[in-house]
A = this chain, B = another copy of it.
Amino acid sequence: MIVILLFLQFLISKSSIMDRLMQSIKMDINEKLYVKDPESSTLGKKIVEQGILLIYEIGFECFTFKKLGTKIGSNESSIYRYFENKHKMLLYLASWYWGWTEYKLVFATHSISDSKEKLNKAVEILAQTVKEDKSFTHVNEVLLNKIVISEYSKSYLTKEVDNENKEGYFTIYKRLVDRLSEMIAAVDPKYPYPLSLASMVMEGTLHQFFLKEHFPALTNCNDKVTPAEYFVDLIFRTLKTKPNG
């Protein structure tokens, strides 16, 4: 009996509820990032789905709408009716990713009242490896996570950042940094750099994953030590406290 109950609980916590929730969610992405909402048609979803695969395969630099057109058996010009250019498409995909991450974060932390436990959970969510693709949607989150690791910086390291920031293209990401910053401040209201610590964790996580893959000599993260462990440890050392203590 208890075995069955535990198994049920496992199912609920690990999969069902969360997954169903995620499937019914429509990401709230800045409308200026697309010409026509890719969620509104089959072709649009195909563009996003196969776009993710192609960017993952050949990298953002080599990725072109022409190649994507060939891959999906569609015309280049049709893709231009959904996205102005590949930069906007990257911003769109990034917003999708951070929106998805935000849902996971909010879902996993909202019911936690203890501020340390909450922060601990938040960092685990933000720095966790996206392992399985449980989605029934057209978005492969595992690959999208890898794209974000390798390409996200390129979306803001441009001469147009300030304008694009004003247009609200980075809103979701900024809100995530802010949420994390608030959780840090809740644990230690006297810590003077909650924003910098939060933005550093967000960006540093992607970087540590990248190093683990391409510069293993520059990180202590590996098969046994996850970026999440490193950052949880870092945060609680910095705030001179322990996750639970």
A134 contacts the other chain (CB 8 A): no
B residues near A151, Cβ cutoff 8 Å:
157
Q: Are the C-beta atoms of B174 and A199 separated by less than 8 Å?
A: no
Given A207-B200, A220-B194, is A215 in contact with B165 using a C-beta cutoff of 8 Å?
A: yes
Q: Are the C-beta atoms of A158 and B194 separated by less than 8 Å?
A: no
Q: Are the C-beta atoms of B214 and A199 separated by less than 8 Å?
A: no
B residues near A2, Cβ cutoff 8 Å:
none
1/0 contact string of A204-245 vs chain B (CB within 8 Å):
100110110011011111000100001001100110100000
Q: Are the C-beta atoms of A200 and B208 separated by less than 8 Å?
A: yes
Q: Are the C-beta atoms of A211 and B199 separated by less than 8 Å?
A: yes
Binding-face segment, A39-47, A54-62, A67-75, A101-109: A54-62
**Looking at the complex, which one of B153, B174, B210, B215 makes contact with A218 (CB distance below 8 Å)?**
B174
**Looking at the complex, which one of B158, B198, B233 makes contact with A61 (CB distance below 8 Å)?**
B158
Query: How far, in Å, is A16 (CB) from chain B's closest CB?
Result: 35
Smallest CB-CB separation from A214: which chain B residue?
Answer: B161
A193 contacts the other chain (CB 8 A): yes
B residues near A53, Cβ cutoff 8 Å:
none
B residues near A225, Cβ cutoff 8 Å:
192-193
A9 contacts the other chain (CB 8 A): no
A96 to B162, CA, bound (A): 28
Q: Are the C-beta atoms of A153 and B159 separated by less than 8 Å?
A: no
B residues near A157, Cβ cutoff 8 Å:
150-151, 153-154, 210
A234 to B240, CA, bound (A): 11
A203 contacts the other chain (CB 8 A): yes
**Looking at the complex, which one of B158, B199, B200, B217 makes contact with A200 (CB distance below 8 Å)?**
B200
CB pairs A–B below 8 angstroms (13 shown):
A62-B159, A153-B153, A156-B214, A165-B215, A174-B218, A177-B218, A195-B219, A196-B221, A197-B234, A200-B208, A204-B204, A237-B237, A237-B238
Q: List the 8 closest pairs (A to B, CB-CB), nearest first.
A: A59-B159, A193-B220, A199-B218, A153-B153, A196-B220, A237-B238, A196-B219, A195-B220
Which A positions have Cβ atoms within 8 angstroms of B?
58-59, 61-62, 150-151, 153-154, 156-159, 161-162, 165, 170, 174, 177-178, 192-200, 203-204, 207-208, 210-211, 214-215, 217-221, 225, 230, 233-234, 237-238, 240
